[in-house]
Amino acid sequence: MTVSAQRSTKCEVTFDINGESRSVSVFPMARLLDVLRHELALTGAKEGCGEGECGSCAILMDGTLVNSCLVPVLQAGGTSIVTIEGLAGNGQLHPIQQAFLDCGGAQCGICTPGMILATVELLRKRPAPTLDEIREGLSGNLCRCTGYVQIFRAVADAAHRIASQ
């Protein structure tokens, strides 16, 4: 393996995370996923495939769903990030979290943070999604436990809960 003559230097990157401003000293090409997990101890986002196909590292950046394994941390500077850790508030689960719990939408839990954040994005765009829209909205998130049926039910259930709030 060739080693570049020019080593990178760490830089200060500041972003808002789950409502709190944080600064980290990191190499600019560090993956946001690694910074979240190793620098900020936010281990909710998981590494599944590491190539943007499984969605288990999904987070919300400036309100939109992204795979944090594909984001160099420098590009996250100045953004507002929400991870699964930021979803519950005041000791209360978010309605989507409660729906996943009640509908058996979570089994081993590896895909669950990404599934739930993908659901946040979906319900923001489509508050009353059809089954096809649910399937498309979650198509970038793989689950090897549930067979998806319970997850789709949980999303539909969450939509009802939010609508009747």
Partner 1 sequence: MRSDPADYLLVAPQSLHDAVALLASEPGAWLPIAGGTDVMVLYGAGKLPARKLVSIRDLRELRGIEEFPNEIAIGAGCTYTDLRKHPAIAREFPMLVSAASWTGGIANQNRGTLGGNIANASPAADSLPALLAYDAELLLTSVRGERRIAYRNFHLGYKKTAMYADELIRAIYVPRKYSGYVSFARKIGARQAQAIAKISIAGLGRMADGVIDDVRIALGSVAPVPLRLEKMEAVLLGKNVQSLPVEDLRRLVAAEISPIADIRSTADYRAVVAGNLVVEFLRQLSSGKAST
Interacting residue ranges for partner 1, rule: CB under 8 A: 1, 3-4, 6-8, 26-31, 50-53, 55, 58, 64-67, 69-72, 74-75, 77, 118, 121-122, 136-141
Tell the smallest beta-carbon distance from residue 13 to partner 1 (Å). 11
Please give the Cα distance from 107 to 121 (Å, whole number).
22
Q: Which is nearer to partner 1, 28 or 104 (CB)?
A: 28
Task: Report the relative pairing of strands 80-82 and 11-17 from DSSP bridges.
Answer: parallel
Identify which of residues 20 and 132 has a Cβ nearer to partner 1 in the complex.
132
Q: Which is nearer to partner 1, 126 or 161 (CB)?
A: 126
Distance, CA of 159 to CA of 9 (rounded, Å)? 46
Cα R_g (the chain), whole angstroms: 17
Rounded least distance, CB 67 to partner 1, Å: 5
Hunting for tokens 């978010």 — which residue is that? 94
Instruction: Provide the minimum distance between the beta carbon of 99 and partner 1 in the complex, in angstroms, as a whole number.
Output: 19
Cβ distance to partner 1 smaller for residue 105 or 137: 137
For the stretch 125-128, contacts whose Cβ atoms lie closer than 8 Å and that sit 24 or more positions apart, written own/partner, are 127/159, 127/162, 127/163, 128/159, 128/163
Q: 20 or 51: whose CB is closer to partner 1?
A: 51
Give min distance, CB of 104 to partner 1, in A: 23
Least distance from C-beta 48 to partner 1, angstroms? 12
d(CA 134, CA 43): 26
